[in-house]
């Protein structure tokens, strides 16, 4: 009995974070589902443009998101070590990372839009992609700042504001997208997404401001004026602490970008096969992204709990936290795989009324059923390793799995099996990534995790 007692509070701690964070991730994915469902009633070209635009935009902004999330394990480990001031400093470094990353991200997005015709995308789709992405680019800075604030809130166990924010955002997204799609097409949908992203930021910022008024949580007294607040923010820009965040966050951002970019290349390959194939890919990827985002939420919870345990010096507890999260991932993704396999067509019809697109999407969802388990395990294992600050190894693993295995398989199988071949290629990369990442976490955990340097 004595050996079982520590596991009970660990389960409660993990689930208390995992459920709301998974809800936030799924809710965020529904924003894209809303865009797809609204545009899915227009033309295949506009639907394809939203899918490709989302893939390209996220493939770039996710690098900045990963960079900002470099603060997450620092904050979690500092809180585990009962050092709120260090956690507060890491929070400020995350804010600086968001500000500094935005200009280069916007530049890369602009270059990608210019290069679309050279990538072989259907000429009827290109102008819609450009219009949609330009409209949504207004949300890049709010998106990154949101993640910086969310990292601090979730490490504190304060998940109410992100949940409220994503619920409000979904309601606003549906209303705005429906109101703007008829007069402005994909531009209106892109602007709606930018507005709702900013709305989510405002909600979490208000929650963080209230929490930081508590000197115990903030590690310092609340600033007496805006000038004092600005002075503290400027003083927080310390090279050594920012560099620590970059060392953790940049490999994380690149790792995330590698996986997203493979799916973006898959979308480009679909675009070369035709507008209907690309539209079907967009419908299917929205379904698969929803289940994946549940795992991203679970991975974030694992990151926080593993980080807290490491900061508190509980190495065995850190390993158990990751293993519990991996077990939960297995249960959930087996269930969603069965759903995709047996209910692919009804899921597709919920997003589009185009019969040819529905048939193609249902076939792709049958393939997605095969990679659900691997997709979940690699997402959660990556989160658990992030809590330990081990992001370089995850970068190398994702580089090999998705670019040395997944992408070549995508390109080769697309010529032989068409759209299904593209998705089978993605599956092979995910299997390799999941096996390697789980093995990495278990080996590191058994050797004993080491806290990040202060």
The count of structural domains within the chain is 1
Task: Quickly count: other Cβ atoms within 10 Å of residue 76's Cβ.
Answer: 31
CB 377 within 8 A of CB 386: no
Checking if the pLDDT of 393 tops 90, the result is yes
How many angstroms separate the CA atoms of 55 and 275, rounded? 15
Provide the domain limits for residue 191.
Answer: 7-447
Q: What tokens does 9 get? A: 């509070």
Task: Report how far residue 300's alpha carbon sits from residue 185's, in angstroms, rounded to the nearest whole number.
Answer: 35
**How do residues 81-99 score in pLDDT, each as one tens digit?**
988 888 888 999 999 999 9
Least confident of 198-207, 232-241, 289-298: 232-241
* Average pLDDT of every residue of the chain: 87
More confident residue, 419 or 98: 98
In a domain, 194, yes or no: yes
Q: Which residue has the higher pLDDT, 196 or 454?
A: 196
Query: Is the residue at 452 inside a domain?
Result: no
Q: Which of 94, 51, 197, 188 is nearest to 138 (CA)?
A: 197
- List the Cα angle 90/96/98 in 5-degree steps: 110
pLDDT at 153: 93
**pLDDT, average across residues 62-82:** 92
d(CA 100, CA 370): 40
Token pair belonging to 279: 């539209």
Question: Given a cut of 90, is residue 12 above it in pLDDT?
Answer: no
User: Which pLDDT belongs to residue 4?
Assistant: 41
pLDDT, one tens digit per residue, over 316-334 is 889 999 999 999 999 999 9
29 or 389, greater pLDDT: 389
Task: Name the 3-class secondary structure at 211.
Answer: helix
DSSP result, 2-71: TTTTTHHHHHHHHHHHHHHHHHHHHHHHHHHHHHHHHHTTS-HHHHHHHHHHHHHHHHHHHHHHHHHTTH
- Calculate mean pLDDT across residues 243-257: 91
How many percent of the chain have pLDDT more than 70?
96
Kindly state whether residue 180 falls inside one of the protein's structural domains. yes
What is the distance between the alpha carbons of residues 406 and 398, in angstroms, rounded to a whole number? 10
pLDDT at 70: 93
Please tell me the predicted confidence (pLDDT) of residue 2: 39
**Total residues belonging to the chain:** 454
Asked, for residue 329, whether it belongs to a domain, the answer is yes
Inform me whether the pLDDT recorded for 419 exceeds 60. Answer: yes
For the stretch 7-13, contacts whose Cβ atoms lie closer than 8 Å and that sit 24 or more positions apart, written own/partner, are 7/320, 7/324, 10/305, 10/317, 10/320, 10/321, 10/324, 11/324, 13/305, 13/308, 13/321
Residue 223 within a domain: yes
Output DSSP code: residue 137.
G
pLDDT score recorded for residue 381:
96
What pLDDT, on a 0 to 100 scale, did the predictor assign at position 121?
Answer: 77
Listed in sequence order, the residues at least 6 apart from 192 whose beta carbon sits closer than 8 Å to its beta carbon are 35, 172, 173, 176, 177, 179, 180
Nearest Cα to Cα of residue 428 among 411, 408, 412, 405:
405
Q: What is the mean pLDDT of residues 199-208?
A: 95
Is 454 part of a structural domain of the chain? no
Token pair belonging to 251? 């490999």
Q: What is the pLDDT of residues 137-192, one digit of tens each?
A: 999 999 999 999 999 999 988 999 999 999 999 999 999 999 998 888 888 999 99
Structural contact between residues 152 and 84, judged by C-beta atoms closer than 8 angstroms: no
Supply the pLDDT for residue 330.
92
At 1, the pLDDT band (50, 70, 90 cuts) reads: very low
Q: In the Cβ-directed half-sphere of 230, how many Cα atoms lie within 13 Å?
A: 3
Whether 428 and 368 have beta carbons less than 8 Å apart is answered as no
- CA angle centred on 239, ends 102 and 60, rounded to 5°: 25
Residues contacting 443, CB < 8 A, separation 6+: none
The residue ranking higher by pLDDT, 198 or 361, is: 198
Question: What pTM value is reported for the model?
Answer: 0.84
pLDDT tier for residue 7 given thresholds of 50, 70 and 90: very low
Rounded to 5°, the CA angle 196-346-32 comes to 15
Q: Is residue 368 assigned to a domain?
A: yes
pLDDT for residue 5: 42
What tokens appear for 392 in the block? 């370089």
pLDDT for 442 equals 95
Q: Which pLDDT band, with edges at 50, 70 and 90, does 53 fall under?
A: confident
Euclidean distance between CA atoms 175 and 28, whole angstroms? 16
| In the predicted structure, residue 8 carries a pLDDT above the cut 60 | no
Residue 453 domain-assigned? no
Of residues 280 and 336, more confidently modeled: 336
Write down the pLDDT at residue 346. Answer: 86
Residue 61 has pLDDT above 80, yes or no: yes
Digit-coded pLDDT (tens) for 122-140: 788 888 889 999 999 999 9
Rg, Å, the chain Cα set: 21
Rounded Cα distance between 83 and 288, Å, is 39
- Highest average pLDDT, of 51-60, 353-362, 373-382, comes from 373-382
Q: At what angle do helices 239-273 and 419-447 cross, to 10 degrees?
A: 160
In the chain, DSSP finds a helix count (H) and a strand count (E) of: 18, 0
The C-alpha atoms of residue 107 and residue 348 are separated, in whole angstroms, by 35
CA–CA separation, 126 vs 119, rounded Å? 10
When pLDDT is cut at 50, 70 and 90, the band that residue 3 belongs to is very low
């Amino acid at each position: 009995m004595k050996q079982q007692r520590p596991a009970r509070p660990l389960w409660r701690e993990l689930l208390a974070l995992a459920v709301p964070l998974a809800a936030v991730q799924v809710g965020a994915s529904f924003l894209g589902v809303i865009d797809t469902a609204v545009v899915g009633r227009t033309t295949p070209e506009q639907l394809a443009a939203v899918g490709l635009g989302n893939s390209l935009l996220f493939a770039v902004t996710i690098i900045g998101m990963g960079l900002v999330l470099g603060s997450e394990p620092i904050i979690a480990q500092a809180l585990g070590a009962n050092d709120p001031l260090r956690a507060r400093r890491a929070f400020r470094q995350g804010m600086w990372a968001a500000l500094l990353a935005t200009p280069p991200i916007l530049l890369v997005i602009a270059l990608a839009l210019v290069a679309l015709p050279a990538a072989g995308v259907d000429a009827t789709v290109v102008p819609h992609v450009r219009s949609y992405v330009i409209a949504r680019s207004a949300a890049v800075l709010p998106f990154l700042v949101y993640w910086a604030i969310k990292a601090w809130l979730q490490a504190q166990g304060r998940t109410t504001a992100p949940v409220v924010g994503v619920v409000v955002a979904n309601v606003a997204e549906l209303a705005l997208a429906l109101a703007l799609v008829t007069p402005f097409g994909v531009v209106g949908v892109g602007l709606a997404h930018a507005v709702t992203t900013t709305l989510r930021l405002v909600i979490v910022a208000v929650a963080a401001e209230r929490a930081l008024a508590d000197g115990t949580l903030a590690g310092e007294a609340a600033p007496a004026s805006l000038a004092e607040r600005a002075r503290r923010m400027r003083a927080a820009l310390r090279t050594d602490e920012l560099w620590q965040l970059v060392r953790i966050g940049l490999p994380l951002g690149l790792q995330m970008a590698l996986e997203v970019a493979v799916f973006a290349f898959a979308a480009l390959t679909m675009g070369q096969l035709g507008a209907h194939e690309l539209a079907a890919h967009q419908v299917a990827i929205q379904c698969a992204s929803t289940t994946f985002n549940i795992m991203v939420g679970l991975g974030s919870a694992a990151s926080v709990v593993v980080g807290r345990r490491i900061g508190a010096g509980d190495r065995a507890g850190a390993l158990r936290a990751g293993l519990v999260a991996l077990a939960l991932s297995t249960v959930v993704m087996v269930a969603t795989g069965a759903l995709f396999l047996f209910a692919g067509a009804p899921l597709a019809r919920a997003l589009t009324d185009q019969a040819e697109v529905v048939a193609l999407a249902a076939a792709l969802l049958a393939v997605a059923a095969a990679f659900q388990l691997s997709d979940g395990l690699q997402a959660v294992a990556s989160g658990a390793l992030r809590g330990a600050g081990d992001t370089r190894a995850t970068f190398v693993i994702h580089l090999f799995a998705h670019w040395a295995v997944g992408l070549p398989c995508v390109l080769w199988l697309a010529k032989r099996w068409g759209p299904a071949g593209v998705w089978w290629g993605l599956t092979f990369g995910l299997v390799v990534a999941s096996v390697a990442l789980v093995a990495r976490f278990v080996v590191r955990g058994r050797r004993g995790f080491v806290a990040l340097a202060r």
